[in-house]
Amino acid sequence: MSVRTTEGAGAGAETSPQPASPAPRPSFGARMLGPQRRNLWFWVFVGPFAVGLGLFTYVPLAWSVYLSFFDAHNTVTPTDFVGLDNYTSMLGDDAFLGSLGTFLLFTVFIVPATFALSLGLALMVNRLRFAQAFFRSVFFLPTACSYVVASLIWKLSIFNGVRFGLANTVLGWFGGDQTAWLSTTHPPWYWLVIVTVRLWLQAGFYMILFLAGLQRISPQLYEAAAVDGARPGWQVFRHLTFPQLRATSVAVVLLLVINAFQAFDEFYNLLSDARGYPPYARPPLVYLYYTALGREQNLGLGSAGAVILALIIAVATVVQARWFGLGRKED
Amino acid sequence: MTGTDHGIGRRRLLAVSGGIALTGVLAACGSNTGRGGGGSGPAISQWYHQYGEAGAEQAVKRYAAAYQKAAVTVQWRPGDYDRQTAAALLTDSGPDVFEVNGPLLDQIRGGQVTDLTAEVEPVKDDFNQAVLAPKIWQDKIWGIPQTIDMQLLYYRKSLLKDAGVEPPQSLDELVDAAKKLTTKNVKGLFLGNDGGVGVLGGTPLFAAGLSLIGDDGKAGFDDPAAARALGKIHQLYADRSLLLGAPTDWSDPSAFIQGLTAMQWSGLWALPQVKKALGDDFGVLPFPKDGSGGKPSVPVGAYGAAVSARSKRMAEAKAYAKWLWVDRTDYQQDFALSYGFHIPARISLAKKAEQLRTGPAADAVRFATEYGYAEPLLWTTADRTAYQDALSRIIKDGAHPETELKSVIRQVNAELQRVKKK
Amino acid sequence: MHDAHDALTRAGRALRIVLLIALALLFLIPFYLLVRNGLATEQDITAPDWTFFPHDLQWSNLTEVFRDPNLPMGRALLNSTLIAVATTVGTVLLASLAGYGLARIPYRHSGIVFYAILGTLMVPAAVTFVPSFVLVSSLGWISTLRGLVIPTLFSAFACFIFRQYFLGFPKELEDAARVDGLGYWRTYWRIVVPNARPVFAAVGTIVFIGAWNAFLWPLVIGQDQESWTVQVALSTFTTAQNLNLHELFVAAAVSIAPLVLVFLLLQRYIVAGVERTGIDD
């Protein structure tokens, strides 16, 4: 019913490219509608999405910025304006700065590791002559799991610190001691747990992207390379395959970095307990979560930290986009 | 076509197309799952966190159903209860009556909970004063203590005997005992998977004769004894005597029952389960004293029943809270003792309780009375976070206790200044 | 010389296959553990010696999960399904329309609109979490499917992917439609959508997975037990004071079973879709 109404109006609009403009308000109406009512149609398509995004993202975002200038303990309608106090105390907070370091360390490790693993898997699976679908499924299947489930398996069954954990059982076969993987800070075994969860969950998805990229490379290029005497293996990969995958690689790196920025679930599900969160392996989102949303409910301080974080992410993303030369096409 | 037609057409079109997506989804989603339920009178909602003990949920629903003057809906909430209540209290869809691990100072200062002084006043002296004290701010009572929780040290008698170890009476003895009890498959002591960072809190400080916040209104552990006591917890960790990374945490006696550890710090609530699994093969101890000025310590505390300041039926909610947690002593006793194991918050009820008169339970009650300490109201979440972070670095990283504590003390004193304002 | 090279290649291939098999086994371990622990008794799981597979498979664990009064697993599965389907349909509809508008309808300010949408990708969810919650609750949407679904429908990521895809969509098709007198709206539904099924499938899949696995939002908005999703129901176990490992694992297995089945059945289609999302155009 409603759709038909719209279509009728749409068809009407299209059949009269230049709407007849009666005397009273000619230019304004025409300008608003644009040629062929394009402006109107633009908003018909984009409007619902834009309104929703505005309501459920921009309104809360603006609210957060507002809160960051107030002493807002346990309230979202604060009255005690404190100016930039929340920002200065957040920037002077060792725990927050430490969390930024954690975040950097995690990103520097997880992005190349996932990239290498998924590319490696794609290269190996791509050249299989049999059981290709089987291997592809096996590596892609973890994408179906949630961080909740994966963290649960990692924490309670693989890397628990007691004798019936899988990792400790395997260590035991070789005469090793039980290791408390998540509780030991020297050496920081917890990174092994955190990183492997994410690798397991993500690698398959990016492998699919790389596989798609690989299949787009023309076989003639390889034939030409063979004629030129390039040896299959590293040389071909270095000088032919990898450059051809540039577009895919850029997309994968961007996605990996955005995902790393948003890392929360596995940290929270692996390391938090009823009493809080340890001071190590605490990325900023977890720290802010406890500051603003946990028992502390310091919404002003938490919001200030969140704004700082969002700014850092924005700058990093823009720099990265420039680096890869994205957006030039559109400008 | 006229200008007016365009106008109408445009407006209609926008309204219609904007609505297509939303109305479709709205219709598909159905409506509110609904609250309320049977019963008569105005509707009140009451929240509890999820207790692990079987029967507790049915019990609180039974109490609520027995209330005549309002229809009370009980919500039994698993997950991170503190965060859920904190978020809900910011809105109008929160509970009317709710239990809270507090109320916290900033909840009181922020005007999120209601003054319950008038409700509690008549029987004020009958409440255990240690757990009532943190519910009081500026001479008003903001929460009614429900039952007393306490923590204590469980030890396996047979394992201690085999190793030739006496139940430890001082922190040094605890360190030695844990070391001697540790074998390839069994650890000496379980203080939680984080090595005690979360659960210990101020306990070692009180055992060293100190406090979290002193009588002078400043951090109460600005003393070399604090660093000394915490250094010994690090010793436990460095000796590899501590069980870490068990599937269950300190609050669950499974690790102790499964024989993964010879001693475990846990709650009184675990006692029935331990007794059922181990019979007489266990004993309980307070956290042992440290140094000449020290004395044993056990943390006590009580979830408080509070009334939300946003409640639309404030008077009814207060009346219900009073009815359940002040008047109905039979329900209070049932709640404390029939599911899991707690000490009633009312002195008169605790005295009457048969279950608390013999064996380890009687020991526990004695510890609570003689050595019990409750975290003061002024010990805020920010303080606790700073202290726990330092504790983690001291225990696990072997950081220098004095340096770590110094920065905590600075932070705690600043926080105390903040809450004194206004 | 030639033979040596061949032998080397063959050895390389064998090595590659061994490596692949080893990696595949590693990737399957978590699934193995889910099944092993889920069908074992508590004693089997905590036994000091590792048993590769429990001797007596405890199928009763499965019924135990569905009968546990504290864990409305059946209801949770239904809720998760409803939420995931509604979220997927809504997100794909809204984002594809917006993506098409941004890609194809010339509008002076479309660049600003696009960057305003793209910019939200950089805002971590935790930043806006509390105000979002307050907003939703002031609409009276707590514990409703509306509250669980609608605020999550506006995915900048999905919109971005659709836009990129439509930018690369052959313009000739649309031009032909316009010559036939079709407006934007009918061109979109009659020409563009039927020819863009792979990207719809791909985005739909990604959104569906995300909606099924979402945790934080359903936890806070779904306050009544009747509105719990499987992820929330699952988390009740991990926070319970007495943890039943076998029940936890069998519940976890149940929670991922629908998605795993979907993956296995529709794999070809999903993979083809993901490959053609055009994010690497």
A111 and A255 in a single domain? The answer is yes
- CATH T-level assignment (fold) for domain B43-148+301-367: D-Maltodextrin-Binding Protein; domain 2 (3.40.190)
Q: How many domains does chain A have?
A: 2
Window 72-131 of A, Cβ < 8 Å to C: 76, 121, 124-125, 127-128
C74 plus C112 within the same structural domain: yes
Per-residue pLDDT of B78-137, as tens digits, reads 777 887 888 888 878 789 999 998 899 989 988 899 999 999 999 999 999 999 999 999
Question: Is A290 within 8 Å of A277 (Cβ atoms)?
Answer: yes
CB B294 within 8 A of CB B209: yes
Whether C44 and C182 map to the same domain: the answer is no
Same structural domain for residues C54 and C97? no
Q: Tell me which residue range forms the domain holding A42.
A: 2-67
Determine, for residues C224 and B269 on separate chains, whether the beta-carbon distance falls below 8 Å: no
- Give residue B19's pLDDT: 33
Q: Are C133 and C160 contained in the same domain?
A: yes
Topology alike, domains B43-148+301-367 and B150-299+376-420: yes
- Cβ atoms B290, B226 nearer than 8 A: no
Tell me which DSSP letter residue A69 carries.
T
Same domain, C50 and C75: no
How do the domains of chain B map onto residue ranges? 43-148+301-367, 150-299+376-420
Q: Do residues A34 and A132 share a domain?
A: no
Report yes or no: A161 at the C interface, CB cutoff 8 Å. Answer: no
Q: Where are the alpha helices (DSSP H) in C47-140?
A: 60-67, 73-104, 110-119, 125-138
The domain of C166 spans 70-275
The answer to whether B89 contacts A74, with C-beta atoms less than 8 Å apart, is yes
pLDDT of residue B145: 95
Tokens standing for B146?
A: 């429900």
Structure tokens at B31: 């409506």
Q: What is the DSSP letter of B155?
A: E
C51 with C82, same domain? no
Q: Where is the domain boundary, C31, C62, C93?
A: C62
Query: What CATH number does residue A131 fall under?
Result: 1.10.3720.10
Please give the pLDDT value at position A6.
Answer: 34
Residue C280 domain-assigned? Answer: no
Q: How far is CA B410 from the centre of its chain?
A: 26
C46 interfacial to chain B (CB closer than 8 Å)? yes
Instruction: Judge if A303 and A265 occupy the same domain.
Output: yes
Record: contact B88-C140, CB cut-off 8 A: no
* Nearest C-alpha neighbor of A119 from the set A311, A303, A253, A312: A253
Query: Does residue C281 fall inside a structural domain?
Result: no
Same domain, C56 and C74: no
Whether residue C88 sits in one domain with residue C43 = no
Which of B17, B33, B84, B184 is the best residue to mutate to test the C interface, defined by the most C CB atoms within 10 Å of its own CB?
B33
Is-contact A29 A21, C-beta < 8 A? yes
pLDDT of residue B30 exceeding 50, the answer is no
- Walk along chain A (331 residues) and give the pLDDT tens digit of each residue: 333 333 333 333 334 444 444 445 556 666 666 666 788 889 999 999 999 999 999 999 898 899 999 998 888 888 889 999 999 999 998 889 999 999 899 999 999 999 999 999 999 999 888 888 889 989 999 988 888 899 989 998 899 888 788 998 898 888 888 888 888 888 899 999 999 999 999 999 899 889 888 888 888 888 888 888 777 778 888 888 888 888 888 888 888 888 887 788 889 888 887 677 888 889 888 888 888 877 778 888 988 998 898 888 888 878 887 877 654 444 3
Token representation of residue A153: 């398996």
Q: How far is CA B383 from CA A121, B151, B379, B413, C228, in A?
A: 48, 21, 6, 9, 34
* A225 class by beta-carbon count within 10 Å (0-12 exposed, 13-18 middle, 19+ buried): middle
Residue B8 — pLDDT band, cuts 50, 70, 90? very low
Looking at the domain assignment, is residue A308 inside a domain?
A: yes
Protein fold of B150-299+376-420: D-Maltodextrin-Binding Protein; domain 2 (3.40.190)
Res. B388: pLDDT tops 60: yes
Q: C205-219, pLDDT tens digit by residue? A: 889 988 998 887 887
Tell me, yes or no, whether A74 lies in a domain.
no
Q: Would you state the pLDDT for residue A30?
A: 66
Best of B4, B5, B10 to disrupt the A interface (most A CBs within 10 Å) is: B10
B52 band by pLDDT with thresholds 50, 70 and 90: confident
- Maximum alpha-carbon separation in chain B: 102
The whole-angstrom distance between C236's CA and the closest CA on chain B is 5
> Do A40 and A93 share a domain, yes or no?
no
Note the pLDDT of residue B64.
Answer: 95
The answer to whether C271 contacts A208, with C-beta atoms less than 8 Å apart, is yes
Residue C43 touches chain B, beta carbons under 8 Å: no
Contact state of B29 with C46 under an 8 Å Cβ cutoff: no
Inter-chain touch C144–B51, beta carbons under 8 Å: no
> Any CB–CB contact under 8 A between C279 and chain A?
yes
Total structural domains within chain C: 2
Above 50 in pLDDT, residue B397?
yes
| Interchain contact C256–A (C-beta under 8 A) | yes
Residue A199, in any domain of the structure: yes
Cite the DSSP H helix spans in A22-165.
Answer: 26-33, 38-53, 59-67, 85-91, 94-126, 132-140, 147-153
More confident residue, B233 or C197: B233
- pLDDT confidence tier of residue C41, bands split at 50, 70 and 90: confident
Question: Do the domain assignments include residue A81?
Answer: no
Compute the nearest-CA separation of C217 from chain A (Å): 12
Upper half-sphere CA count for residue B253 (Cβ side, 13 Å): 26
Tell whether C85 and C173 lie within a shared domain.
yes
Q: Could you tell me if A149 and A177 lie in one domain?
A: yes
Is A303 in CB contact (< 8 Å) with chain C?
A: yes
Residues C177 and C234 in one domain: yes
Shortest alpha-carbon distance between residue C205 and chain A (Å): 10
* ipTM for this prediction: 0.84
